[in-house]
A and B are shown apart, each in its own frame.
Chain A
């Protein structure tokens, strides 16, 4: 423990704090720009950190990671476009809140949840790394398949009012995810000769198209009738009432995020949706979810930041990255002469403690950056839509281009923009598509890969305990969501009877 305290002394040097702060600020901006992700930011900055001290470079890179996980929620709340895939679940309730004039409330909750989630993730990382990483190593392809199936069972919870339409959207998304080279034999499926699709539909351009571009088109349609939204931010911290209501959700979601992050290959996006699904399931007012429930913002944000701490667990204890960002951090650490893994704890314990301390400082910095910027962020929606919409469109196109320097990605964004717009018009939810695009490949690849390893044996369903648990949880989740749906319909009918009717698809309501 006093090793950690010594690290605090090392970390609270002005140059280190500055490096962490710059990282968090930069990460927040990167996360807030749709199309630019934490992975990109970390990758671009790693070469610059060659010459820096270990603690400065890791501090800055970790700062980017934490900042981006928070930053992604800003455009999700303001313009319904997740800045990073991990904020996709935040858009579901954050955006309706923003449209109701409650952007400040949503942003505050997002910030506090992100900071809390970060602390939870870091705390678990500091105290429970060895145990968790042993558990994480038990995940083979069979367990990943089961995890994906469990993740997919959340779809019912995010389908909104029409489960069958949610399922249709999910199957559509799952079919989209089969585009690309077959994971087992490498032969191309559904690419029609376009090598740009060889690795599947490019995720970020698809995300931007479905959410941002479609929203711009929808906004263009309603521009005359759109009322000016007053986005006032009176307070940085959420109201006591809100915080008390969301507190259990935040703790639970932070832990969910941390554990999912600790599984190599499962990242913030999965964590956010699972946390969202769980928050909806355990809420007394599940009918509010999707229409601006504050827990719907707290849960995913706490989870995706908890995931940052979680992803560091396998990285530091096993030398195995927990997600894309930590994969790059692995390279950065190697370049600094450290070999992440079991030996690191034995031979470089002070460096490990420095990393822990840097992350804790990073959590504080996220709060500072968020608090400083909140008033500015909230103002964005007050900008005249006639100027705002085209600017969002340009940023979307730029964001999609930036991933691979490929103009075809821009075309793909536009195509998905049309698809997303039509989906909205015909009352189909978009979030299931996103979840399907993330989890579909995970499910198919891992199942087929495991079958190659086990030579066609499906026994894992009952011989491998983790798989059994996850698959049963998936079934349970499905059943509970269906039951919950009935509860929602009941609550809504009650509300209608009492005169509190809420029109599902009135022109003021933000589509899901």
Chain B
């Protein structure tokens, strides 16, 4: 038995030396990574926005890293299971994960024990701002007109969201605060049913991302009044931001990549480099834009700062909306 382990040790040492001499396709000089399939954990189910986005970026990264990346949909708990799985995974660089907004909205509700500080963020890739969308024949064409209407009918204007405590519910809440209006929040099981109800004229508005109303708007059944973003959405260049309309509201969901704490720095560097290169790939960018998913890159340091700020802001909003004490 001892002989086997000694042999293995020697073999590994030799391989690392050889790797150091050769330098392969984007594999780092000092360590031999990756040499096996990498698993990318997705806290959301297959076919959804996050899953599609993750699969797309992984597909673009595979040729760069020279290894297969398998997406594992570890769903449940409103995202808790998947995020928990990323945190609990082996920090050997062979498990990475996509983290999303819910990483910051689950802890304040006391539903999970972890926070964003329990993993190592790598990169932010996406941000989708909330968009106030109404039916095409609604009597208001601008955000201002809509808000006037809301002030005239306090608590009556029905605004659909993707669920109690969801990012879109919070976004609508933030909008209420800043704009001085009161909506009647209607929770649905996800954004799609909310959009469907809006299409049927059963509610007045939705506050979901523009990606989720993309096909309806392009088909001419709905119109977006404003987006809660820093810049206008390239898919809808004529839609103003809340800031342009005079209200300081920036809110939306985000997605990024992370690894469990303890992953070696060299591996993290390789991953950051590879995924950044994949992010800049034209095909990937085209795909993301065609799906309406906003590209919003942030490097590791900026992302960490963003997470901290976002966590505080989310907790605040939840308190104001009465979702938590």
Name A residues whose Cβ lies closer than 8 Å to a Cβ of B: 39-40, 42-44, 46-47, 50, 137-141, 181-186, 188, 195-196, 198-199, 202, 264-265, 318-321, 327-328, 330-331, 334-335, 337, 339-344, 403-406, 445, 449, 452-453, 455
Contacts and interface: CB of A to CB of B under 8 A. Distances in A.
Given A319-B215, A334-B214, A341-B216, A404 B76 contact: yes
A342 B221 contact: yes
Nearest to A405: B74
A42 B45 CA distance: 12
A137 B323 contact: no
B219 A199 contact: no
B47 A334 contact: no
B78 A264 contact: no
B195 interface: yes
Contacts of A181: 78, 164
A410 B111 CA distance: 22
A498 to B, nearest CB: 53
A388 B158 CA distance: 55
A188 B112 CA distance: 12
B118 to A, nearest CB: 15
A213 B42 CA distance: 29
B74 A406 contact: yes
B218 A404 contact: no
B322 to A, nearest CB: 10
A341 B215 contact: yes
Contacts of A334: 214-215, 290-292
Given A334-B214, A405-B73, A140 B164 contact: no
Contacts of B185: 452
A330 B47 CA distance: 10
B75 to A, nearest CB: 5
Nearest to A199: B76
Interface in B145-183: 158, 163-165
B111 A331 contact: no
B115 interface: no
A87 to B, nearest CB: 21
Interface stretch (B49-57, B259-267, B295-303): B49-57
Contacts of B49: 331
B290 A335 contact: yes
B76 A330 contact: no
B47 A331 contact: yes
B59 interface: yes
Given A50-B287, A198-B77, A199-B76, 13 more contacts: A50-B59, A183-B164, A195-B77, A198-B78, A198-B80, A264-B193, A331-B49, A339-B215, A341-B215, A341-B216, A341-B221, A403-B75, A453-B184
* Residue of A43, A46, A139, A202 with highest tally of chain B CB at under 10 A: A43
A137 B199 contact: yes
A405 B84 CA distance: 13
Contacts of A43: 45-47, 51
Contacts of B94: none
Interface in B60-80: 72-78, 80
A476 to B, nearest CB: 27
Nearest to B203: A453
Chain B contact-residue range equals 35 or more
B189 A198 contact: no
A331 B288 CA distance: 12
B215 A404 contact: no
A452 B287 CA distance: 38
Given A195-B81, A320-B195, A139 B291 contact: no
Contact of A186 (B73, B74, B81, B165): B165
B291 A331 contact: yes
Interface in B232-290: 287, 290
Nearest to B220: A343
Contact of B46 (A44, A318, A337, A449): A44
A39 B73 CA distance: 13
Contacts of A337: 290
Nearest to B78: A198
A186 B323 contact: yes
Interface string B73-100: 1111110110011000000000000000
Nearest to A186: B164
Contacts of B78: 181, 195, 198-199
Contact of A445 (B59, B189, B287, B323): B189
B187 interface: yes
Nearest to B211: A334
B202 A141 contact: yes
Nearest to B323: A186
B188 interface: yes
Nearest to B42: A405
Contact of B164 (A184, A341, A406): A184
A100 B165 CA distance: 53
Contacts of A198: 76-78, 80, 111
B214 A339 contact: yes
A140 B200 contact: yes
A102 B126 CA distance: 56
A404 B165 CA distance: 22
Nearest to A333: B215
Q: Which 4 A-B pairs have the closest CB atoms?
A: A341-B219, A186-B164, A43-B46, A195-B77
Contact of A449 (B45, B56, B111, B188): B188
10 contacts: A181-B78, A195-B111, A195-B112, A196-B76, A196-B77, A265-B193, A334-B291, A337-B290, A341-B218, A344-B219
A343 B218 contact: yes
B153 to A, nearest CB: 12
B310 interface: no
Contacts of B200: 137-140
Contact of B186 (A320, A339, A453): A453
Nearest to B283: A50
A186 B162 CA distance: 11
A140 B197 contact: yes
A343 B199 CA distance: 14
Contacts of A139: 200
B277 to A, nearest CB: 19
Contacts of A318: 199, 221
B87 to A, nearest CB: 13
A43 to B, nearest CB: 3
A46 B59 CA distance: 13
A335 B59 contact: no
A313 to B, nearest CB: 13
Contacts of A320: 192, 195-196, 199
Given A335-B287, A335-B291, A343-B218, A186 B45 contact: no
B109 interface: yes
* Residue of B73, B196, B292 with highest tally of chain A CB at under 10 A: B196
Nearest to B41: A405
Contacts of A327: 47, 192
A127 B111 CA distance: 49
A190 B74 CA distance: 22
Contacts of A341: 215-216, 218-219, 221
A346 B108 CA distance: 48
Contacts of A138: 200
Contacts of A199: 76-78
A40 to B, nearest CB: 7
Contact of A46 (B47, B75, B163, B184): B47
B27 to A, nearest CB: 25
